[in-house]
Amino acid sequence: MSVQTIPPRIKWAVDVIDVRPDDQVLEIGCGPGAGAELICSRLETGKLFAIDRSESGVDRTKRRNAKYVDAGRLVVRQIDLATLRVPVKRLNKVFAFNVNLFWVRGCDDEVALLHERLVPGGAVYLFYEANRPELVPRIVEKASAALAKAGFRISIVEQKAPPVIGIVGRR
């Protein structure tokens, strides 16, 4: 079995979200499963619920993280955020990397759902590769506005190399 590496941008983002052993985390757009692997490695009694609209993303995440699925620390589903059903006030953290939903189109319903499902003090962490600097102001503006409209307090985190921008919404 080959060991898959975790990209530095994902390591940095997961460090920023500061996963605690008992956290209940939602990952939106789990893709190849690198974020899920790193998050699950930090969980003990907590759980990661990872979703992706893509069947291949779900399959790749499940394969890469089979030991965490088997241990009950990871649940992976092919579903759209808009149709997600999670018990109210259960999540501590929401993590998304390069998920365009939050800045490309209206996402009021999805963001309201996240606000509703996060425990007080919980946070949404939206990260984007900033390899197209001309897009960064628009991404920050649109994603921040979407979160703020739902009642989140916004802060921005940034890493220069590799370039990553993070929009954090705290409940």
Residue 1, pLDDT score: 40
- Whether the per-residue pLDDT at 60 is higher than 50: the answer is yes
Residue 162, pLDDT score: 86
First to last CA, the chain: 41
What digits encode the pLDDT tens for the residues 137-156? 999 999 999 999 999 999 99
Segments making up each domain of the chain, as ranges: 8-170
What digits encode the pLDDT tens for the residues 65-121? 999 999 999 999 999 888 877 655 689 999 999 999 999 988 999 999 999 899 999
CA distance 19 to 41: 9
> DSSP string spanning 51-112?
EES-HHHHHHHHHHTHHHHHTTSEEEEE--GGG----TT-EEEEEEES-THHHHS--HHHHH
The verdict on domain 8-170 having CATH code 3.30.70.1350 is no
Residue 2, pLDDT score: 46
* Cis peptide preceding 162, ω within 30 of 0: yes
